[in-house]
Amino acid sequence: MGEFSDAVFQQVVRIPRGKVATYGQIARLIGSPRSARYVGYALRGNPSPGMAETDIPCHRVIFKDGSLCKSFAFGGPEEQREMLEQEGVSFLDDGRVNLDAHLWNPNAGDESGNDANGKAGANASLPTAPPPDFNWKLELGE
């Protein structure tokens, strides 16, 4: 595996249980905002897919819209949906993931909790609905 794929796995494993991340998020985290497409390609060859902490929870990686990828390796989007529901991820009537409630915020160590109140002043508070757009862009300085 190349460094790219390795970096992808490094970030994907950090996604806490009950949270989901988008391909774009992972792409930004590894320093290639425009290579979201290849994040999926890297996950395609994931060594240990599964829900365990030691495994790579690629089922937690979804589209920016909240929909699931059509070509999921486990057995289709249905299986992926089952796994996410088991982790407590809620779905909308559209069949899409409720990103407002379960989107992972990599900047705020969610491992301790999903408060994400570490951010001062900004649009941090997410009692029920975090901002649709994150400020990671600003950090990248694009």
Partner DNA sequence: AATGTGACCCTCT
Partner DNA sequence: GAGAGGGCCACAT
Judged by the rule CB under 7 A, the positions of this chain that interact with DNA are: 1-5, 22-24, 27, 32-46, 49, 58, 61, 63-65, 69-74, 142
AA identity, residue 86: Q
What is the Cα–Cα distance from 103 to 18, expressed in whole angstroms? 9
What is the Cα–Cα distance from 10 to 5, expressed in whole angstroms? 9
Q: Point out the catalytic residue in the list 43, 56, 58, 68.
A: 58
Q: Token pair of 131, please?
A: 């901002």
Range 43-70 burial, b when 16+ CB lie within 10 A, else e: beebeebeeeeeebbbbbbbbeebebbe
Active-site residue, 58 included: yes
Shortest distance, CB of residue 63 to DNA, whole angstroms?
Answer: 4
Please say which residue, 52 or 120, places its beta carbon nearer to DNA. Answer: 52
Shortest distance, CB of residue 127 to DNA, whole angstroms?
Answer: 24
Please say which residue, 4 or 115, places its beta carbon nearer to DNA. Answer: 4
Please say which residue, 115 or 136, places its beta carbon nearer to DNA. Answer: 136
Q: Is 77 exposed, middle or buried (0-12, 13-18, 19+ CB in 10 A)?
A: middle
- Residues serving a catalytic function are 58
